[in-house]
Structures are given as structure tokens and as C-alpha cells.
Amino acid sequence: MISVVACMEATCELSDPQASEALGKRIATQLQRGDVIALFGDLGAGKTTLSRGVLRGLGHAGPVPSPTFTLVQHYATDDLSVAHFDLYRLTSRDEIFELGLDEACHEGAVLIEWPEILDDALPEERLEVHLSDAGNGRSVRLVARGAWADRLSTLTI
Ligand SMILES: Nc1ncnc2c1ncn2[C@@H]1O[C@H](COP(=O)(O)OP(=O)(O)OP(=O)(O)O)[C@@H](O)[C@H]1O
Ligand SMILES: [Mg+2]
């Protein structure tokens, strides 16, 4: 099937963990109910660090632990509820729906680490964040699909 969803890409360098958090904070300024952020990258690429930045940007001051073992962490910030998933340990797609992905998308925004297992079940409108090693820091490729395409320029300044 031919996709008619607009798609824009941008890349930038994140020299340290603070830069990863700062990108998360910029994403937070654009985040709305129903938004899906898909975080790709190898073990230790910085997916949780960037997610922490998103939550800090939304005003959450408490801990933002990795959801590797709990599979999902829920947050209620002043403006938005956020569900932070980590699908690394899942072996079947059905489990993620049992974890409440659809409900979370309706209630607020979702951040998904290791989204590969969802494949074509990922909503077509989404922001993909692809993190990879670059020296001591990280490089990030942002792929903005649908409404995110219009918001992309505000993320890379
Ligand atoms: N831009 C960056 N430059 C250098 N180090 C970074 C950067 N961003 C994050 N890190 C560091 O990388 C380490 C791993 O980060 P993090 O836990 O966020 O990765 P992750 O992708 O969520 O890992 P996992 O795949 O295990 O969930 C942490 O020590 C973090 O401080
Ligand atoms: Mg993580």
C-alpha cells in the first residue's frame, strides 16, 4: 500500500547525556494527547535518557526509571498523561496490547523503547527517534511522520 502520510527527516549530534535530555525537553514542548514517540537504538543508546528529558520538560520532577523490567511506567504530569514502554523483553505483539498501549494512546502520549516488535502495528503518525553511537556521544536521526512533519523544525534548533 502507498503511504500518503508526510515524512520529514533531520539529524543532529548529542555530545553528552544532557544534550539527549535537552532534545527530550524540546519534544515535550510539542507533545499532545495521542502522540507516539518510537525510540530506536541499541542497548545503552540513550532512549531512557531522552525519555527522562521529555518527562522533565513536562514538569515531572521525580524519578524516571527504565521500564525494562516493569515494561511500562505511567506518569501524570500537569498537562498530559504519559506512558513509557520498553518492549525489549516482549516476545509477542499481543502482550503489548495487554499492557494497554491502545488505552495509553487515547489517554495521553506514549514513549516506546524497542518498538521494533510492533512493526506495522505502530501508528502511522509518529515521531521516530533513531539513536546511534558517535564517538563519546550519540547521533540522532529524527523521522517525523504525519503531523510531526510540521513540528520537526522546532526540535532541531
Ligand atoms: N548523548 C549522549 N552521549 C553520551 N552518553 C549518553 C548520551 N545519552 C545518554 N547517554 C548515556 O548512555 C547510557 C545509557 O543510557 P540509557 O539508559 O538512556 O540507554 P537506553 O537506550 O535506554 O538503554 P536500554 O537499551 O538498556 O534501554 C547512560 O549512561 C546515559 O547517561
Ligand atoms: Mg532504556
User: Is the model's pLDDT at 128 over the cut of 90?
Assistant: yes
What pLDDT score does 42 carry? Answer: 98
pTM: 0.96
Question: pLDDT tens across 45-91, in order?
Answer: 999 999 999 999 999 999 999 999 999 999 999 999 999 999 999 99
Q: Which fold has domain 7-154?
A: Rossmann fold (3.40.50)
Q: What is the pLDDT of residue 80?
A: 98
> Nearest 5 degrees, angle CA 48-CA 121-CA 128?
40
User: Which residues make up the environment of ion ligand 2, defined by Cβ < 5 Å?
Assistant: 47-48, 66, 113
Residue 114 CA, closest ligand 1 atom number: 25
Query: E strand or H helix at 30, and its extent?
Result: helix 17-30
Q: What local confidence, expressed as pLDDT, does residue 63 receive?
A: 97
Domain boundaries, the chain: 7-154
**Which pLDDT score, from 0 to 100, does residue 30 have?**
96
Instruction: Give the mutation target among 13, 43, 48, 56 for probing the ligand 1 site: most ligand atoms within 8 A of CB.
Output: 48
Q: What is the pLDDT of residues 138-153, one digit of tens each?
A: 999 999 999 999 999 9
Distance of CA 5 from the midpoint of ligand 1 (Å): 31
**Which residue ranges have their beta carbon within 6 Å of ligand 1?**
14, 16-17, 19-20, 41, 43-49, 66, 68, 113, 137-138
**Cell (9 digits) for 115:** 518498538
Q: 40 with 116: CB under 8 angstroms?
A: yes
Give the chain's mean pLDDT: 95
Inform me whether the pLDDT recorded for 2 exceeds 80: no
DSSP state letter for 46: S
Res 93 pLDDT > 70: yes
> How far is Cα of residue 62 from the mean position of the Cα atoms in its chain?
19
- If pLDDT is split at 50, 70 and 90, which confidence band does 5 have? confident
**Strand runs (DSSP E) across 1-121, as ranges?**
7-14, 36-40, 72-76, 81-86, 109-113
Say if residue 1's pLDDT is above 70: no
> What is the 131 CA–ligand 2 centroid distance (Å)?
12
Residue with cell 540513550: 46
